[in-house]
Amino acid sequence: MKKMTFPAGFSWGTATASYQVEGAWDEDGKGESIWDRFSHTEGRIATGDTGDVACDQYHRYAEDAAIMKQIGMRGYRFSVSWSRIFPDASGKVNQAGLDYYSRLTDELLKNGVMPFPTLYHWDLPQWLQDQGGWANRDIITHFATYAETVVNALGDRIKNWMVFNEPWVFVYLGYLYGVHAPGIRDSDLGVKASHIVNLAQASAMKAMRATGKIEQVGSAYSMASTYPYSDSADDKAAAERQHAWNNVWFLDPSIKGAYPNAYIEQEKMLRKMDVRPGDMEACVEKPDFIGINLYQRSIVENDPNNRNLGLRQHRGPGPQTAFGWEIWPAALYQMIKRIDKDYGLPIYITENGCSFPTGPDANGRVPDQDRIDFYHGFVGQVGRAIDEGCDVRGYYGWTLIDNFEWAEGFRQRFGIVHVDFETQKRTIKDSGYWFRDLIAANEIEYDETLV
């Protein structure tokens, strides 16, 4: 084991998303989003839960900001709900929606917490979905207008922004596999949407920079470091294809103006994606940093029978969270090293965390030791990468408070603060106090032998 100290001013924070915490789903002029529609449709959410109330952060943001301060958090990654700002197809701005994020921003700053918002964490306005959503190119202009509007309203106080959260997840789970909103299962639409999202990312970044009000902009990408199933050249090549598709499909176009090689028949795929002349140039807008959301790794074996990515995945032998996700701390170290080597840009860990169901005991304490062990392992591997020279600027745990876990409803608890969804009572878990002590000490021990 080795001990390291994080850089002074390291950005310690937590992340949430509008639909998962806000509630107030139809208040103050907010329009319907695809997640409202999806969760209100029977059979879509495993538990039948909805985000109508969620953690009621729309009304309890001051209490939540005070909790962040108590823990010593220096940043808060929240997302803006597009349908609060542009509730309908009229194109008219709903000022009350902007006012909410302005109040939240002021409250965070008052508590010494840097607001670090994401413009899109999956809750697309339903009126845009009715026009085809991310599979219709018209969305590119709508999204840039929305981005510019939000930055103009808050850019006097907020300097650091994220455009997208996990484009891979909302495109493929939403349009290809149909398990997330809008619940579409269509391989043509899915791959077309992936390209439109890349175009939209660049045009929104350009619009945000043109306001002259921001300092840093990037996106948060879902990543899982890929491990070849064996040492064979074929498995290693398969792991590279998985990395290309899963980790950097929405990053390479913005930096290199090209898609990474992922598919066995890549040229055919690019035609299916409807990549037109001039598109790849239009995708380029270099981010100031790269956000990594990482929960797991993937273990990949070459599979010649698969004509898509040419691979199959295996489960790893590590222990698991309540969600059944393998706990493999070195995955985060490997991912940081790879992204640092390939792009040389500053990195933020924009999400990392685990679900365990621990609730309050008889004394009202929440002894979630398994979550502490998880964080100790993963944060330690971030420290290891920093020790080896990687430029990691911050670490955002997922998540501040137990919240609405998408298709799983409320049954997966990822918070470092427990929420009783009957009463909305918040209780800081032992892991929350662990973070308080970690941030105060600003140092951690890590295992430098993990692979």
Min dist. Cβ of residue 221 to ligand GCO (A): 10
Contact between 279 and ligand GCO by CB under 6 A: the answer reads no
Selection from 138, 120, 316 nearest residue 225 by Cα: 316
Q: Are 77 and 162 in contact (CB under 8 A)?
A: yes
Q: Cβ closer to ligand GCO: 6 or 375?
A: 375
**Encoded tokens for 146:** 């929305």
Backbone angles phi, psi at 86, to 5 degrees: -125, 85
- Minimum CB distance to ligand GCO smaller for 16 or for 427: 16
The site map against ligand GCO for 286-315 (x = CB under 6 A) is: -------x----------------------
Least separation in angstroms between residue 420's CB and ligand GCO is 19
Note whether 279 and 195 are within 8 A (CB).
yes
Residues 385 to 414: which contact ligand GCO by CB under 6 A? 398, 405, 414
CB of 323 to ligand GCO, least distance (A): 7
Return the residues of window 135-194 that contact ligand GCO according to CB under 6 A. Answer: 165-166, 169
Compare residues 148 and 166 and give the one whose CB is closer to ligand GCO: 166
- Provide the minimum distance between the beta carbon of 415 and ligand GCO in the complex, in angstroms, as a whole number: 10
Q: Is the dihedral of CA 24, 25, 26, 28 positive or negative?
A: positive
Compare residues 39 and 165 and give the one whose CB is closer to ligand GCO: 165
Are 228 and 239 in contact by the 8 Å Cβ rule? The answer is yes
Catalytic member of 148, 166, 285, 326: 166
Closest CB to ligand GCO among 78 and 435?
A: 78
Burial of residue 312, with CB atoms counted within 10 A of its CB: 0-12 exposed, 13-18 middle, 19 or more buried: middle
Q: In angstroms, give the least distance from the CB of 352 to ligand GCO.
A: 9
Nearer to ligand GCO, 293 or 381 (CB): 293
Q: How far is the CB of 398 from ligand GCO (least distance, A)?
A: 5
Closest CB to ligand GCO: residue number: 166
Structure tokens belonging to residue 424: 């909305």
Q: Going by C-beta distance under 8 Å and a sequence separation of 6 or more, which residues neighbour residue 307?
A: 264, 265
> Three-state SS string across the chain, please?
CEEEECCCCCEEEEECCHHHHCCCCCCCCCCCEHHHHHHCCCCCCCCCCCCCCCCCHHHHHHHHHHHHHHHCCCEEECECCHHHHCCCCCCCCCHHHHHHHHHHHHHHHHCCCEECCEEECCCCEHHHHCCCHHHCCCHHHHHHHHHHHHHHHHCCCCCEEEEEECHHHHHHHHHHCCCCCCCCCCHHHHHHHHHHHHHHHHHHHHHHHHCCCCCEEEEEEEEEEEEECCCCHHHHHHHHHHHHHHHCCCCHHHHHCCCCCCCCCHHHHHHHCCCCCCHHHHCCCCCCCEEEEEEEEEEEEECCCCCCCCEEEECCCCCECCCCCECCCHHHHHHHHHHHHHHCCCEEEEECCCCCCCCCCCCCCCCCHHHHHHHHHHHHHHHHHHHCCCCEEEEEECCCECCCCHHHHHHCCCCCEEEECCCCEEEECHHHHHHHHHHHHCEEEECCCCC
Shortest Å, Cβ 316 to ligand GCO: 18
The minimum distance between CB 53 and ligand GCO, in angstroms, equals 17
Pick between residue 249 and residue 263 the one whose CB is nearest to ligand GCO.
249
Which member of 10, 11, 12, 17 binds ligand GCO (CB under 6 A)?
17
Nearer to ligand GCO, 302 or 355 (CB): 355
Active-site residue among 22, 107, 148, 351? 351
Q: How many residues bind ligand GCO (CB under 6 A)?
A: 10
Instruction: Output 238 or 417, the one with its CB closest to ligand GCO.
Output: 417
Q: Does the annotation mark 351 as catalytic? A: yes
Q: How far is the CB of 408 from ligand GCO (least distance, A)?
A: 8
Residues forming the site for ligand GCO (CB under 6 A): 17, 20, 165-166, 169, 293, 351, 398, 405, 414
* Catalytic center residues: 166, 351
